[in-house]
């Protein structure tokens, strides 16, 4: 048996999961002054090679040390990503494995899982919660139009790209009739605020921080256009962003960079700017701002698509069936489902009908 250690070296360059900060190392003692060297290392749990235990998701779940080792052992296919120019800390995606299959002629076995055990559950908005509210012109700060954003304020979300787009809109295109509202908090919030000051666009941007649902829905309901500036990366290319679903549920036209999953989700409810191109992003926003008929068409299209295909009530049965299958396989049907039942409304009889 050939055992391979897939763990990565741990350093400040170790990648973190999306929206999480990576590790940091700070000197707290130095040999020249303190006669000893000392470092303080901080990190979130979602960094580098790691495994999420059931306890991470529900109370009473097992920790890593409680899991039978044979649950964590299985066949593997070794793919040499270095030959494609990827380093330890570079992002890779399905296209790299497909390329490896083409170049080597070796097909990667994807778990040998029977189709009846495979469940795809998309993220979708609960239309009972995500509802349009009466617009409030105060959000526009005296300007004619409002562009809205909601999300985590961190590196992956591309807020620096959005600010560059705002700067181009205001100074290169001379449009001072548009205000931008950015809702959300995160590790880069203060840095993004400073960037807005440095770019001289702070007067055109409101940073709300974390706000309650009523304020958030009022702001988004007031917006003429909603944006998703997530930069184009291998991870973002295959990720469903909740903000896109929420914008569509509220009937808002969208501008985002051209990523595969974003295009699949929004389809004709969005315009798609060239990858990480802030000038094209700004021009796409203005194309909608200056065309109210197009905005209305795209907003209606997005709302209808959510209602007919993407809302949570379409996905909930898939998730329940997935939990039921796991419980059936493990022989702990109701005991396993107890923590999950609390996530959904309905009587025990209704649950039995679902299962």
Output the tens digit of pLDDT for each of the chain's 355 residues.
677 776 667 788 787 776 677 888 888 888 878 888 898 998 887 787 677 888 877 777 888 888 888 777 776 777 777 777 777 666 677 777 777 777 776 666 655 667 777 788 888 999 999 999 999 999 999 999 999 999 988 767 899 999 999 999 999 999 999 999 999 998 889 999 999 999 999 999 999 999 999 999 999 999 999 999 998 887 788 788 899 999 999 999 999 999 988 999 999 999 999 999 999 999 999 999 999 999 999 999 999 999 999 999 999 998 988 888 887 877 654 454 455 444 444 444 444 444 4
**Which residues lie closer than 8 Å to 252 by C-beta, 6 or more apart?**
148, 220, 223, 225, 226, 299, 302
pLDDT value of position 334: 47
3-class DSSP state of 61 = coil
Q: pTM here? A: 0.67
226, 224, 234, 280: which is closest to 257 by C-alpha?
280
Residue spans of alpha helices (H) in 143-291? 159-167, 189-198, 213-222, 234-237, 242-249, 260-266, 278-289
d(CA 241, CA 151): 9
Q: Residue holding tokens 């069936």?
A: 321
150, 151, 58, 129: which is closest to 313 by C-alpha?
129
Edge to edge, the sheet with strand 270-273 lists 205-209, 178-183, 145-150, 225-228, 254-257, 270-273
pLDDT value of position 106: 67
Residue 303 burial (CB count, 10 A): 19
Q: Which two tokens stand for residue 103?
A: 């170049």
pLDDT value of position 352: 44
d(CA 190, CA 68): 44
- Angstrom distances, CA of residue 165 to CA of 168, 170, 172, 249, 280: 5, 9, 10, 25, 8
pLDDT value of position 1: 66
- Angstrom distances, CA of residue 302 to CA of 54, 66, 128, 148, 151: 35, 45, 17, 16, 19
pLDDT value of position 272: 97
pLDDT value of position 52: 80
Residue 93 backbone dihedrals phi, psi, to 5 degrees:
-140, -175
Helix axes 312-330, 333-341, angle to 10 degrees: 150
Strands 145-150 and 225-228: parallel
d(CA 98, CA 171): 44
pLDDT value of position 346: 47
């Amino acid at each position: 048996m050939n055992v391979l250690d897939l763990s990565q070296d741990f350093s400040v360059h170790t990648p973190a999961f999306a929206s999480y900060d990576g590790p940091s190392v700070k000197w707290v003692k130095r040999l020249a002054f303190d006669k000893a060297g000392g470092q303080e290392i901080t990190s979130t749990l979602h960094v580098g090679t790691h495994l999420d235990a059931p306890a991470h998701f529900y109370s009473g779940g097992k920790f890593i040390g409680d899991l039978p080792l044979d649950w964590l052992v299985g066949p593997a296919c070794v793919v040499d990503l270095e030959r494609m120019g990827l380093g330890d800390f570079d992002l890779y995606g399905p296209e790299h494995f497909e390329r490896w299959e083409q170049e080597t002629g070796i097909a990667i076995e994807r778990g040998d899982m029977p189709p009846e055990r495979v469940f795809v559950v998309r993220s979708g908005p609960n239309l009972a919660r995500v509802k349009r509210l009466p617009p409030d012109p105060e959000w526009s700060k005296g300007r004619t139009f409002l562009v809205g954003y909601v999300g985590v304020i961190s590196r992956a979300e591309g807020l620096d790209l959005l600010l560059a787009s705002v700067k181009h809109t205001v100074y290169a295109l001379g449009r001072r009739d548009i205000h931008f509202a950015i809702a959300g908090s995160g590790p880069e919030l203060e840095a993004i605020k400073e960037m807005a000051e440095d770019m001289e666009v702070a007067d055109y941007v409101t940073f709300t921080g974390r706000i309650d649902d009523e304020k958030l829905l009022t702001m988004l309901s007031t917006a003429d256009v909603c944006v998703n500036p997530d930069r184009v990366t291998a991870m973002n290319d295959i990720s469903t962003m909740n903000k896109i679903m929420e914008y569509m549920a509220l009937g808002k036209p969208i501008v985002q960079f051209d990523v595969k999953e974003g295009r699949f989700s929004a389809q004709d409810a969005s315009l798609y700017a060239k990858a990480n191109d802030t000038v094209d992003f700004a021009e796409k926003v203005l194309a909608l701002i200056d065309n109210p008929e197009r905005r209305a068409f795209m907003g209606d299209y997005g709302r209808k698509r959510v209602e007919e295909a993407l809302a949570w009530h379409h996905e909930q049965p898939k998730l329940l069936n997935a939990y039921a299958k796991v419980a059936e396989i493990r022989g702990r049907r109701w005991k396993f489902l107890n923590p999950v039942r609390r996530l959904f409304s309905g009587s025990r009889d209704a649950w039995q009908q679902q299962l």
